[in-house]
């Protein structure tokens, strides 16, 4: 094949032929910041492969022209434009055909992977004879399609099972988790893991040497036998059932069904894989999960990293939140000083940080050491004057916070951003202590900081645009999803969550077993029930936030919550709350007897949630309905397959509104439909 880079007609692929006759294709998806397999990219690749098949080179290496990664997957935007199952099938079969064309080339083929290699990207790599990846923690491989309500469709389910055996391949596909290069090498997904300077050489030598290709082990072949498949399928179904009930998340179950019927026998499995994805992708679950993915992309786009380049963060208050915020910021590459007068708080912070870094950087321990070096205990606050961002996370007390602001303001760098992690004090009140109120924003982190993706960015009346812009950029620098919210009681997430939690306590007071209340919420699709959640957050915290919101928004905190806190049962951290715990794990109890309607329990919980969501939207706590959904999905795990509370509310507005009115007649004013239902 003769084609010079100079007259390269392709928009998405760089082409190069080296003196040894090896062709190097590097992807750079046009008009996108990350490489994805768009329609155009696949079209061009198909064309390139046809040319290569006509005059085969000595070898083909497919890599990326971008430092930030290989291929992040298929083009999710295209999924939302699909109008029918048939249309979806055509798209998927085309993808399969391109991967088949790579596999069919008579020359050796190598995928040269740096950074993310996910979904369709890994499917492409699996169609190559060899896979070589960069030895770097940023290298991540995975088949996360289940998170979008589908499963691999470009031959990836077949090829991964053929290469790794059903158990390992299914583990990747059913969990959707991504793994680093070293784990991938151990699993057999990669042939070589090499440092940057050897990447090109490794690919080149592999083409020339043509080492024996990785093959699955005999035991994996045995598992494909017909009599064994139903047993393994049952095992797999049991593994996914708890996290992904078939009615809510059909994709993992569809994948297991297909394999059970066909094994990894190539032709029928390819056919069924495509049909199944076409069916799934046009269904409600996938469309809602794709929507959630797009909401995530939208939140990411709200923060422009280039707008602000923070290097040093100073955290004041090294308690539960401050300690974890400092730990997290250092993990993300920032230099962090953490100030607290209590040495034991600083010692605790360092201990928890060490645990997190060891876990996170198991395969790259030196990076864990480096993160530890960036986290500096600073009891006297020397870091304050160097900081680009100062985060205050001391006790929730207006006077204490104001006194602190008065003391620190003269020592801040002129351009430093001052942020508070307050969960309930209006920014306007806090700002009274400042000469320059425009620099104060709320950065409302959620507990546990390392696991919660959302960060509410609170705008007070005096907060300047530039402070908001910098706060949102900062969120992206520390890999959080920024959600701009108005400074109003409870902001968005706690405000919507609280009536739902309190309704759970009312139900409990009425005698509904706590297990039933939790089950009703989980049946709806919540990751955990409200009673479990309250125990996890801490009942003292719930009561505190509940009291404030009840006062501001005119509702009541049920007596059972106050009583249980008074008895010292404040949740998991005290060993008991509504449930009992031993070593942080819930003590199992007998399944309760309940003769009432679990549907009614669920409706009451969910309707209070939705009613508050509608109120927040009407009041403009966030800008639009999509941001309500994004906040509640990423801040509380609201049933993602339903697309978010507002999406659900809008989809079933008439029926839900009717039920709400019924409840307001039977249970009183707390179910009074918010004025927003009328719009």
Choose the catalytic residue: 123, 273, 456, 515: 456
Q: How far is the CB of 324 from ligand NAI (least distance, A)?
A: 8
CA-to-CA distance for 177 and 175, rounded, in angstroms? 5
Q: How far is the CB of 407 from ligand NAI (least distance, A)?
A: 8
Kindly tell me which of 372 and 490 has the beta carbon lying closer to ligand NAI. Answer: 490
Q: Are 316 and 393 in contact (CB under 8 A)?
A: yes
Q: How far is the CB of 553 from ligand NAI (least distance, A)?
A: 18
Q: How far is the CB of 398 from ligand NAI (least distance, A)?
A: 10
DSSP for 581-615 reads EETTEEPP-PPPP--S-HHHHHHHHHHHHHHHHHH
Calculate the CA 376 to chain-centre distance: 29
CB burial string 553-581: b at 16+ within 10 A, e below: eebebbeebeebbeeebbbbbbebbbbeb
How many Cβ atoms are within 10 Å of 435's Cβ, its own excluded? 9
Kindly tell me which of 36 and 376 has the beta carbon lying closer to ligand NAI. Answer: 376
Kindly tell me which of 135 and 392 has the beta carbon lying closer to ligand NAI. Answer: 392
Kindly tell me which of 144 and 635 has the beta carbon lying closer to ligand NAI. Answer: 635
Q: Looking at the DSSP assignment, which residues form a beta bridge with residue 109?
A: 60
Q: How far is the CB of 83 from ligand NAI (least distance, A)?
A: 44
Among 160, 175, 288, 421, binds ligand NAI (CB under 6 A): 421
Among 393, 433, 498, 561, binds ligand NAI (CB under 6 A): 393
Calculate the CA 602 to chain-centre distance: 26
Residue 467 among the catalytic residues:
no
Residue 220 among the catalytic residues:
no
194's tokens: 């090499």
Using the rule CB under 6 A, give the single segment among 207-215, 288-296, 302-310, 388-396 that binds ligand NAI.
Answer: 388-396
Among 317, 368, 499, 571, binds ligand NAI (CB under 6 A): 317
Q: How far is the CB of 308 from ligand NAI (least distance, A)?
A: 23
Adjacency order of strands within the sheet including 481-486: 375-377, 335-339, 312-316, 389-392, 417-420, 440-444, 454-459, 481-486
The verdict on 276 binding ligand NAI (CB under 6 A) reads no
Cis peptide leading into residue 448 (ω within 30°): yes
Q: Are 500 and 474 in contact (CB under 8 A)?
A: no
Using the rule CB under 6 A, give the single segment among 15-23, 312-320, 594-602, 623-631 that binds ligand NAI.
Answer: 312-320
Using the rule CB under 6 A, give the single segment among 173-181, 232-240, 338-346, 549-557 that binds ligand NAI.
Answer: 338-346
The verdict on 319 binding ligand NAI (CB under 6 A) reads yes
Residue 68 among the catalytic residues:
no
CA-to-CA distance for 661 and 586, rounded, in angstroms? 37
Choose the catalytic residue: 421, 423, 467, 487: 423
Using the rule CB under 6 A, give the single segment among 14-22, 85-93, 390-398, 433-441 that binds ligand NAI.
Answer: 390-398
Choose the catalytic residue: 204, 444, 532, 576: 444
Kindly tell me which of 156 and 546 has the beta carbon lying closer to ligand NAI. Answer: 546
Residue 423 among the catalytic residues:
yes
Kindly tell me which of 526 and 541 has the beta carbon lying closer to ligand NAI. Answer: 541
446 Cβ neighbours under 8 A, 6+ residues apart: 452, 454, 455, 493, 635
Q: Looking at the DSSP assignment, which residues form a beta bridge with residue 440?
A: 418
Ranked by CB distance to ligand NAI, the top (closest) residue is 319
Q: Are 91 and 37 in contact (CB under 8 A)?
A: no
Tokens 């434009």 appear where?
81
Please provide the size of the chain in residues: 679
Interface residues for ligand NAI in 339-358 (CB under 6 A)?
339-342, 345
Kindly tell me which of 316 and 660 has the beta carbon lying closer to ligand NAI. Answer: 316
Closest CA to 638 of 492, 467, 478: 492
The verdict on 288 binding ligand NAI (CB under 6 A) reads no
Chain residues in the site for ligand NAI (CB under 6 A) = 316-322, 339-342, 345, 393-396, 400, 404, 421-423, 445, 447, 541
Indicate which residues carry an active-site annotation: 423, 444, 456, 494
């Amino acid at each position: 094949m003769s084609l010079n880079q100079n007259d390269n007609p392709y928009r998405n692929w760089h082409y190069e032929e080296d003196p040894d006759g090896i062709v190097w294709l590097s992807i750079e998806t046009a008009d996108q910041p990350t490489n994805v397999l768009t329609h155009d990219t696949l079209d061009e690749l198909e064309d390139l492969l046809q040319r290569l098949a006509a005059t085969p080179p000595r070898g083909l290496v497919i890599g990326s022209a971008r430092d930030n990664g290989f291929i992040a997957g298929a083009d999710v935007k295209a999924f939302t434009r699909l109008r029918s199952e048939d249309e979806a099938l055509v798209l998927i079969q085309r993808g399969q055909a391109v991967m088949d064309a790579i596999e069919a080339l008579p020359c050796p083929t190598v995928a040269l992977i740096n950074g993310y290699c996910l979904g369709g990207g890994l499917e492409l790599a699996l169609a190559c004879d060899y896979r070589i990846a960069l030895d770097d923690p940023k290298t991540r491989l995975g088949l996360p399609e289940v998170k979008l309500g589908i499963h691999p469709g470009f031959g990836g389910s077949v090829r991964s099972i053929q290469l790794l055996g059903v158990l390992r391949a299914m583990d990747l596909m059913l969990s959707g988790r991504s793994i680093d290069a070293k784990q991938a090498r151990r699993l057999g997904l990669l042939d070589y893991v090499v440092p940057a300077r050897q990447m090109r050489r490794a690919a080149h030598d592999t083409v020339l040497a043509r080492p024996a290709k990785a093959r699955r082990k005999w035991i994996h072949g045995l598992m494909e036998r017909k009599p064994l498949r139903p047993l393994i399928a049952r095992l797999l179904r049991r593994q996914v059932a708890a996290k992904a009930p078939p009615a809510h998340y059909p994709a993992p179950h569809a994948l297991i069904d297909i394999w059970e019927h066909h094994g990894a026998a190539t032709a029928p499995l390819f056919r069924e894989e495509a049909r199944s994805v076409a069916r799934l992708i046009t269904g409600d679950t996938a469309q809602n999960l794709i929507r959630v993915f797009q909401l995530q992309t939208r939140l990411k786009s709200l923060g422009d990293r280039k707008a602000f380049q923070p290097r040093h963060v100073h955290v004041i208050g090294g308690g539960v939140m401050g300690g974890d915020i400092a730990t997290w910021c250092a993990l993300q590459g920032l230099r962090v000083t953490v100030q607290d007068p209590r040495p034991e708080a600083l010692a605790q912070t360092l201990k928890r940080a060490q645990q997190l870094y060891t876990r996170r950087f198991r395969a790259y321990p030196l990076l864990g050491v480096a993160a530890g070096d960036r986290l500096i205990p600073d009891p006297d606050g020397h870091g304050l004057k160097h900081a680009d961002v100062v985060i205050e996370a001391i006790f929730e007390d207006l006077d204490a916070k104001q006194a602190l602001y008065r003391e620190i303001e003269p020592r801040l760098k002129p351009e430093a951003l001052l942020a508070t992690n307050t969960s309930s004090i209006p920014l306007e009140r806090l700002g009274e202590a400042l000469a320059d109120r425009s620099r104060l924003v709320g950065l409302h982190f959620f507990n546990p900081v390392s696991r919660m993706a959302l960060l509410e960015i609170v705008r007070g009346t005096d907060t300047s645009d530039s402070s908001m812009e910098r706060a949102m950029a900062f969120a992206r620098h520390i890999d959080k999803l920024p959600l701009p919210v108005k400074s109003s009681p409870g902001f968005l997430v706690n405000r919507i969550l609280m009536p739902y939690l309190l309704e759970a306590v009312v139900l409990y007071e009425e005698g509904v077993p706590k297990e039933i209340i939790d089950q009703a919420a989980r049946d709806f699709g919540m990751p955990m029930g409200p009673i479990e959640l309250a125990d996890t957050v801490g009942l003292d915290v719930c009561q505190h936030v509940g009291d404030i919101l009840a006062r501001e928004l005119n509702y009541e905190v049920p007596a059972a919550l106050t009583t249980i806190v008074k008895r010292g049962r404040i949740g998991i951290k005290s060993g008991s709350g509504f449930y009992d715990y031993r070593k942080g794990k819930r003590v199992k109890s007998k399944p309760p007897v309940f003769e009432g309607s679990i549907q009614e329990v669920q409706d009451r919980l969910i309707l209070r949630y939705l009613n508050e969501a509608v109120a927040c939207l009407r009041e403009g706590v966030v800008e639009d309905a999509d941001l309500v959904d994004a906040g509640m999905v990423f801040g509380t795990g609201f049933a993602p397959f339903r697309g978010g509370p507002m999406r659900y509310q809008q989809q079933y507005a008439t029926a839900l509104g009717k039920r709400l009115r019924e409840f307001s007649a039977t249970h009183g004013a707390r179910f009074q439909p918010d004025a927003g239902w009328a719009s």
